[in-house]
Amino acid sequence: MPQLYDQFHDSDHIPPRRTRAPGSGYPMTPSPGGRRPKRRRRRAPVLPVLLSLAVIAGAAAILLTALRPSAKASDAAPETPPPASDALTASAPPATATPAPTPNNQRDIPIPDWIEQDLLPVNQWSRPGDPLPQVNGVVIHYVGNPGTTAEQNRSYFKNLAETHETYASSHFLIGIDGKIIQCVPLSEIAYCSTVRNADTIAIECCHPDAEGKFTEETMASLVKLVNWLIDTYDLRREDIIRHYDVAGKECPIYYVRNPDAWESFLDELTFPSP
């Protein structure tokens, strides 16, 4: 420090010249006082600059040495593409592991023995054979033909293949006596609930008169069947609906005109706890 201090104060010219940019008149205004101070001035900055350069060079060398291993690693990377590509391939399955939700109706569901299976022959009018991969609900209907039996309604569906009267069917029919007949496999759609054919199970219930109220036997079987479907497909209360809720049709008529009776039916069902 004392040396630097002395050098700066050797000449009066030093402070203003140091503020100038190099070459901005420094050689043009040599001090007439002699060359010694000039030499001192020139030599004085050179030493510290050289020292600084040496220090910087040393530091750079140390830095380069420290960085060399990583530089080697990065240099080596292009020489070993197979491991890199293998690693990418290995990590590919987890990256693309975003499978679509599995439909809930693509397994073989055993039918309980309290259901009589009497499947319709495949035909375009009542059993098209189209798959029903996902079941999101159950739609309840009434047959609209008072006093008819489950068997008679099944025959009606079957005969549509000949009569071509309309497109109609349901997965299940429940008779006035509580008998349950399955007409269409759970894995296939039925023609019963218009826009919800594609994701629901349809149940048609017989009724003794035009009022459309189900008998106790019919209602008991309906509760049993729907509870089984709730359990099979993990359904919620809002998934159990009337044909009316799908298309506004007055079906099942008694439970459209008497919403309390519909709610009472829903209250009898057993849903999984949330």
Which among 84, 163, 136 has a CA at the least distance from the CA of 241? Answer: 136
Q: Which is nearer to Zn ion, 132 or 251 (CB)?
A: 251
Q: Which is nearer to Zn ion, 135 or 139 (CB)?
A: 139
Q: Which is nearer to Zn ion, 235 or 251 (CB)?
A: 251
Residue 34 gets the label, from left (phi > 0), alpha (psi -120 to 50) or beta, of left
Q: Which is nearer to Zn ion, 41 or 255 (CB)?
A: 255
Which among 137, 118, 266, 112 has a CA at the least distance from the CA of 198? Answer: 137
Instruction: Compute the least distance from the CB of residue 139 to Zn ion, in Å.
Output: 7
Instruction: Compute the least distance from the CB of residue 177 to Zn ion, in Å.
Output: 21
Q: Which is nearer to Zn ion, 141 or 196 (CB)?
A: 141
Strand segments, DSSP code E, in the chain are: 116-117, 137-142, 172-174, 180-182, 200-205, 240-242
Instruction: Compute the least distance from the CB of residue 244 to Zn ion, in Å.
Output: 8
Which among 10, 14, 44 has a CA at the least distance from the CA of 26? Answer: 14
Which among 197, 215, 219 has a CA at the least distance from the CA of 131? Answer: 197
Q: Which is nearer to Zn ion, 194 or 264 (CB)?
A: 194
Q: Which is nearer to Zn ion, 41 or 196 (CB)?
A: 196
Which pair of tokens denotes residue 147? 């006093």
Q: Which is nearer to Zn ion, 41 or 252 (CB)?
A: 252
Asked if 133 and 105 count as a contact pair (C-beta separation under 8 A), the reply is yes
Q: Phi and psi dihedrals of 33, rounded to 5?
A: -65, -15
Instruction: Compute the least distance from the CB of residue 118 to Zn ion, in Å.
Output: 20
Q: How big is the CA angle at 223 (ends 222 and 229), to the nearest 5 degrees?
A: 90
Instruction: Compute the least distance from the CB of residue 98 to Zn ion, in Å.
Output: 39
> Which spans of this chain sit near Zn ion (rule: CB under 5 A)?
141, 243, 251
Instruction: Compute the least distance from the CB of residue 138 to Zn ion, in Å.
Output: 12
Helix (H, G, I), strand (E, B) or coil at 75: helix
Which among 265, 135, 136, 145 has a CA at the least distance from the CA of 205? Answer: 145
Instruction: Compute the least distance from the CB of residue 249 to Zn ion, in Å.
Output: 6
Which among 229, 261, 227 has a CA at the least distance from the CA of 244? Answer: 261
Instruction: Compute the least distance from the CB of residue 172 to Zn ion, in Å.
Output: 13
Helix (H, G, I), strand (E, B) or coil at 93: helix
